Amino acid sequence: MANKTKDYLAKVRKKTGFSDYKISQKYEINQSNLSKYKSGRAALSETHAWLFADILNINPAEVVANTKLEHAKMKGDKSKVIFWQERLKNLSNISESIKIDIAQINPIVGDLNNNAQQIIDLSLKATQQGCDLLVFPELSLTGYLPEDLLLRAGFIQQVDEKVTMIKNAIPENISIIFGAPHQQAGNLYNAAYLVQEKEIQIYHKQQLPNYSVFDEKRYFSAGSQPFIFTIKGQRIGLLVCADLWDADTVRETVRYGVSSIISINASPFHVGKHQQRLNEVKNRVLENQVGFVYANLVGGQDEIIFDGGSFAMDAKAQLTHQLPFFETATSSLTDPYTPAESASVEKTIYDALVLATKDYIEKNGVFKGVVIGLSGGIDSALTLAIAADAIGSEKVKAIMMPYTYTSNMSLEDAKAQASTMNIDYQEISIHSMVESFNSQLSGVFSGLQADTTEENLQARVRGTLLMAISNKLGSIVLTTGNKSEMAVGYATLYGDMSGGFAPLKDVSKTMVYRLAKYRNTQSYIIPGRVIDREPSAELAPNQVDQDSLPPYDELDAILGLFIEQRLSVKDIVNQGFNQQTVERISQLVLNNEYKRRQSAPGPKISKNAFGKERRYPMTSKFKP
């Protein structure tokens, strides 16, 4: 905490934007005195201490006591040094304890009426429970991220109207913080709004992320000033999300004498992300010796998942509060804290996929349920489990579409799983339909050998049937392909890729097996043979996936290095993989960009997911 005259002067200079000469003229401070203040040769006079405190909007007694202490030290007056140190200590003890609550909410992008009402309702409830300060996440009024809705003047006008509505509805005896866009002087900012005693104060986010799934510089201008407010005598700094990842931004906020920092966030999930947040906040806390409150968004938004997990940390970097993951919650930081056991990776990913699927279906508000092509294989079995856990088994319909190459095992296992899960199950034979296609195409294909064309016809007939059922019932088709298949193009356009949402799009095949085994520990619903059998698309006699692909553990290891770590072929080969295999797999990844560009959206769980995050050209001659 800055407590010397030259520090206070620097803050005045920064806040006003004035030069020393302008400060001297504006506030009638003798140039000679100002020069001594700047060099540290003199402490502020009491008059100037009160003046600077007024400019900086801080407690005048604090500035006076600090400069009196500084003067006493200059004069070597030990008794006065002790006196003013005691006064400062007493000042720091004057502040009352604050009851801070975190509202970890799940807003819907663009649903301004309901989002605003949720903020108001939770604020009124918190008021009745004696809360002093209620903290909502980043862009909690609009949802994160509204994308090009932010470019519409009508949208920003509605945001302003809802901000006013919130301000008018909040009682004077509670303060709240929430996130919303703020337009000022032709610029749009990602802002944190403080409603306190019927007045609004606004902080503009300073660090705008423009990597991974973030695109904030497309929409927002960056703020440049720290924001500090006082409640019950305590000075608190306010940040928005990426600000905390910048040490200088945090350090500048702390310089204004704050005891704690509140950060509102819309931090997307990927495996290991929460530990990264904890590590980063711990660094900021230890660097600055301040407490920290971290409020995060929760919910699925298209391909992005917000996992919640809001928390508080004291000035010794000890976790003092932790909210749950993947669910809405409102919690007071004064409640007792009992550390929970760490969840397994499988549980974390599964919960993320269920939330993403649930929110995509329910937030869109147009789907009556789900349709899934159940093949008897591991991918569709896991997708069926996710769908039922997301929206309820009564809203899920499973369709088995056997053909000549469908095994009895697949038929038995698909029917058994649907029965165990109490899911509406039907079988539709596609034999006659496929044969009709083959017959009609026989003239065009005359003299040509059968190949993947005939295999893809089976997938496309199935895709057409699923989309017809979707159309008739008003239910969304969930595609069942995984990341390993999508990476190398082991999927059929307008066939098994047909559908509106892909829960496993960012899940590797090896993780699919791990998730299926995890789900069976909760209740045994996926037949053991589905997990144990060799994977097959069953589009040709005796076909298995490894006819076309390396073993999945090898494939997924290569894909992880090439896609998520962005390593070159040479670097991957140097890790012990066969060069020919690596070259083939990497080229398949690049060649199938056109397929992925037409694929259904799916939830991001990795550090580099296909879709919104990983953007590669479809036409390219790059050799990795």
Residue 1 confidence (pLDDT): 41
Q: Going by DSSP bridges, is the β-strand pair 311-313/304-307 parallel, antiparallel, or unpaired?
A: unpaired
Q: Is residue 574 part of a domain?
A: no
Please compute, for residue 70, the number of CA atoms within 13 A of its CA located in the half-sphere on the CB side. Answer: 22
What is the token pair recorded at 162?
Answer: 């809802």
The DSSP call for residue 538 is -
Q: Is residue 602 part of a domain?
A: no
| Alpha-carbon torsion (167, 169, 173, 178), positive or negative | negative
The H or E element that residue 202 is part of is strand 199-204
The answer, yes or no, to whether residue 538 has pLDDT greater than 70, is no
Residues 356 and 259 placed together within one structural domain of the fold? no
Burial of 603 (0-12, 13-18, 19+ CB in 10 A): buried
pLDDT band at 605; cut points 50, 70, 90:
very high
pLDDT band at 540; cut points 50, 70, 90:
low
Residues 279 and 165 placed together within one structural domain of the fold? yes
Residue 338 confidence (pLDDT): 79
Q: How far apart are CA 313 and CA 197, in angstroms?
A: 27
Looking at 89-98, 198-207, 487-496, which range is the least confident one? 89-98
With a pLDDT cut of 70, the percent of the chain lying above it is: 96
Active-site position among 6, 70, 216, 241: 241
Closest C-alpha among 573, 574, 561, 576 to residue 606:
561
Residues 69 and 47 placed together within one structural domain of the fold? yes
Q: How far apart are CA 176 and CA 171, in angstroms?
A: 10
Closest C-alpha among 39, 46, 42 to residue 65:
46
Question: Please, what's the largest Cα pairwise distance for the chain?
Answer: 107
336 in helix, strand or coil? coil
Could you tell me which residues come within 8 angstroms of residue 376 by beta carbon, excluding any fewer than 6 positions away? Answer: 400, 406, 407, 409, 410, 411, 412, 413, 414, 530
pLDDT tens across 424-469, in order?
Answer: 999 999 999 999 999 999 999 999 999 889 889 999 999 999 999 9
Domain boundary among 43, 65, 94: 94
Q: Is residue 438 part of a domain?
A: yes
Q: Are 605 and 483 in contact (CB under 8 A)?
A: no
How big is the chain, counted in residues? 624
Active-site position among 6, 68, 162, 205: 205
476 in helix, strand or coil? strand
Domain boundary among 46, 69, 94: 94
241 in helix, strand or coil? helix
Closest C-alpha among 238, 183, 243, 252 to residue 207:
243
Q: How far apart are CA 351 and CA 347, in angstroms?
A: 6
Residues 27 and 112 placed together within one structural domain of the fold? no
Q: Is residue 561 part of a domain?
A: no
CATH number at residue 464: 3.40.50.620
Domain boundary among 79, 94, 109: 94
Residues 275 and 164 placed together within one structural domain of the fold? yes
Residues 243 and 264 placed together within one structural domain of the fold? yes
User: Could you tell me the CA-to-CA distances from 563 to 300, 508, 558, 585, 614 in Å, in that order?
Assistant: 23, 12, 8, 11, 9
pLDDT band at 539; cut points 50, 70, 90:
low
The answer, yes or no, to whether residue 239 has pLDDT greater than 50, is yes
pTM: 0.84
Which residue segment(s) compose the domain that 31 sits in? Answer: 5-94
11 catalytic residue (yes or no): no
Residues 496 and 375 placed together within one structural domain of the fold? yes
With a pLDDT cut of 90, the percent of the chain lying above it is: 71
More confident site: 342 or 71? 342
User: Could you tell me the CA-to-CA distances from 547 to 362, 497, 537, 539 in Å, in that order?
Assistant: 39, 21, 11, 12
Strand order in the sheet with 199-204: 199-204, 187-196, 175-184, 133-135, 100-104, 329-332
pLDDT band at 68; cut points 50, 70, 90:
confident
Residues 502 and 451 placed together within one structural domain of the fold? yes
Please compute, for residue 59, the number of CA atoms within 13 A of its CA located in the half-sphere on the CB side. Answer: 20
Q: How far apart are CA 403 and CA 409, in angstroms?
A: 13
Asked if residue 194 has a cis previous peptide bond (ω within 30° of 0), the answer is no
49-58, 403-412, 493-502: which is most confident: 493-502
What is the token pair recorded at 186?
Answer: 């032709």
User: Could you tell me the CA-to-CA distances from 395 to 31, 378, 506 in Å, in that order?
Assistant: 77, 21, 24
Backbone angles phi, psi at 36, to 5 degrees: -70, -40
Q: Are 292 and 261 in contact (CB under 8 A)?
A: yes
The DSSP call for residue 479 is P
Q: Report the chain's mean pLDDT, rounded to a whole number.
A: 91
Residue bearing tokens 């490894």: 546
User: In total, how many domains does the chain have?
Assistant: 3
131 catalytic residue (yes or no): no
The answer, yes or no, to whether residue 91 has pLDDT greater than 70, is no
Q: How far apart are CA 283 and CA 318, in angstroms?
A: 12
Could you tell me which residues come within 8 angstroms of residue 593 by beta carbon, excluding any fewer than 6 positions away? Answer: 616, 617, 618, 620
Q: Is residue 562 part of a domain?
A: no
The DSSP call for residue 222 is P
pLDDT band at 121; cut points 50, 70, 90:
very high
Active-site position among 62, 70, 138, 538: 138
CATH number at residue 185: 3.60.110.10
Burial of 7 (0-12, 13-18, 19+ CB in 10 A): middle
Residues 118 and 266 placed together within one structural domain of the fold? yes
Please compute, for residue 343, the number of CA atoms within 13 A of its CA located in the half-sphere on the CB side. Answer: 17
Closest C-alpha among 495, 347, 465 to residue 399:
465
Q: Are 477 and 374 in contact (CB under 8 A)?
A: no
Residues 175 and 317 placed together within one structural domain of the fold? yes
Residue 92 confidence (pLDDT): 60
Q: Is residue 153 part of a domain?
A: yes
The answer, yes or no, to whether residue 4 has pLDDT greater than 50, is yes
Q: Is residue 622 part of a domain?
A: no
Residue 535 confidence (pLDDT): 76
Residue 57 confidence (pLDDT): 67
Q: Are 482 and 512 in contact (CB under 8 A)?
A: yes
Residues 491 and 398 placed together within one structural domain of the fold? yes
More confident site: 161 or 52? 161
Residues 532 and 430 placed together within one structural domain of the fold? yes
408 in helix, strand or coil? helix
Closest C-alpha among 39, 30, 32, 40 to residue 70:
40
Q: Is residue 621 part of a domain?
A: no
Q: How far apart are CA 1 and CA 482, in angstroms?
A: 52
Closest C-alpha among 133, 131, 145, 137 to residue 106:
137
* Chain centre to alpha carbon of residue 104: 13
More confident site: 577 or 59? 577
Q: Going by DSSP bridges, is the β-strand pair 100-104/329-332 parallel, antiparallel, or unpaired?
A: antiparallel
* Chain centre to alpha carbon of residue 380: 27
Q: Are 481 and 503 in contact (CB under 8 A)?
A: no
205 catalytic residue (yes or no): yes
Residues 197-224 have a mean pLDDT of: 92
Q: How far apart are CA 406 and CA 536, in angstroms?
A: 10
CATH number at residue 61: 1.10.260
